Structure 1
């Protein structure tokens, strides 16, 4: 048995269930996403040792998902699954950063061998963090404390930077004022003040106002969320 945590991104529910069951029987911990966008959000919000992704998926295909993951982590092993067998499709997958490729239908035992081999080649404890947080076209470079959107650098104060970092670390998740106060300010939230709302507005003016797509949204009565949808 082992403790490796795998992300399976597959829109075919029957195949997803079959793969999950077989991988779990080998001791792997499996989390499942039903499309590329959900897979990317889960990857950004948790730590995985290996990713298995279908190629043809709604919302975000496997190649695009692979490219987005590689912007944030250059070493995590990725296996692409596809019903397509053309050489061009394999080349595109490898160019996007995939480490291995399986064409459907395939023997489950073959997938298990590939997973075991890649985990042996890329043990997670040896991986170094990339120091990059990415959501949509928004990038935060942690080592240099610089933020860019659509390639344009955005100047933030230290507290604005830390607030945005917390949002980027929890994409597509509603964060309450209490959580933000504790994690960003290190204090309990005083319901009689609106300082968090003030700083959210500061961020919106810099991160959202100059751009067509808005990323920072308010969920009335709940908190704030970094999301592509309002």
Structure 2
């Protein structure tokens, strides 16, 4: 079986060594870069299936690196691994194009779980679904949501969604006009309903709501104290 290629960009050498050794023992093929510039060079040559990127690094910071990656690659899952954990840092990281955000200190077990979850959703750990024009394609008002392609299409624009955005929107559309509880989304997609993950989810909800603004008949409603309802 082909090994999953993972690019680890981390300037803390001891931490990087522990993470690299553990992931290799778990069956991953690891390429380690010690700064953002080296990370960009290795991304181009290594072509990873997933990237784990620190934010605060010399030569090129993680945000700049992810912007460069997203300019040429919209699909490879990216996890930020960083000590910067304020809400504004989370928002900035996700807006840059990351799919997930883990704050230091962290457990290796949590990191591996997050990695496997993202890879599974990007279909690297599961067989590809049979091609079908109706397979996981949903009509949302004047929008067409193609879950497998991670696309939200409207006559005014075509939006490329992240893995997390696609997963959340699928949960909401499959329960259209019914409240989807926050806790259910968090446990299903993050595996934990803690405060940090909840703030992370709120960022994605805001982005999805903005994507849907071209059709006034589609509303993503915040049901106070419960969760969210997609109405159309």
Q: TM-score, normalised by structure 2?
A: 0.53
C-alpha separation in 2, matches of 1:19 and 1:9? 11
Is residue 55 of structure 1 aligned with residue 20 of structure 2? no
1:49-128 maps to which residues of 2 (within 5 A)? 49-123=49-123
CA contact (8 A) 1:5 1:49 kept: yes
SS class of match (2:7): strand
Cα deviations across residues 98-140 of structure 1 (Å, max 9, x unaligned)? 0000000001100000000011111359799xxxxxxxxxxxx
Q: Structure 2: state its 5+ residue gaps.
A: 129-147, 150-232
Cα deviations across residues 15-60 of structure 1 (Å, max 9, x unaligned)? 0000001101110000100000000011112321000010100111
Q: CA deviation at 1:95?
A: 0.3
CA contact (8 A) 2:77 2:98 kept: yes
SS class of match (2:31): strand
CA contact (8 A) 2:7 2:52 kept: yes
- Aligned counterpart, 2:43: 43
The two structures, once aligned, show a CA RMSD in angstroms of 1.9
Q: CA deviation at 1:4?
A: 0.2
Q: CA deviation at 1:2?
A: 5.8
CA contact (8 A) 2:10 2:33 kept: yes
C-alpha separation in 1, matches of 2:60 and 2:5? 22
SS class of match (1:59): coil
- Aligned counterpart, 1:166: none
Cα deviations across residues 47-100 of structure 1 (Å, max 9, x unaligned)? 210000101001111111111000010000000011111000011100000000
C-alpha separation in 1, matches of 2:70 and 2:104? 24
Displacement over 4 Å in runs of 4+: 124-128
- Aligned counterpart, 2:15: 15
- Aligned counterpart, 1:152: none
C-alpha separation in 2, matches of 1:11 and 1:123? 30
How many residues were matched structurally?
128
1:193-208 maps to which residues of 2 (within 5 A)? none
C-alpha separation in 1, matches of 2:30 and 2:118? 16
SS class of match (1:48): coil
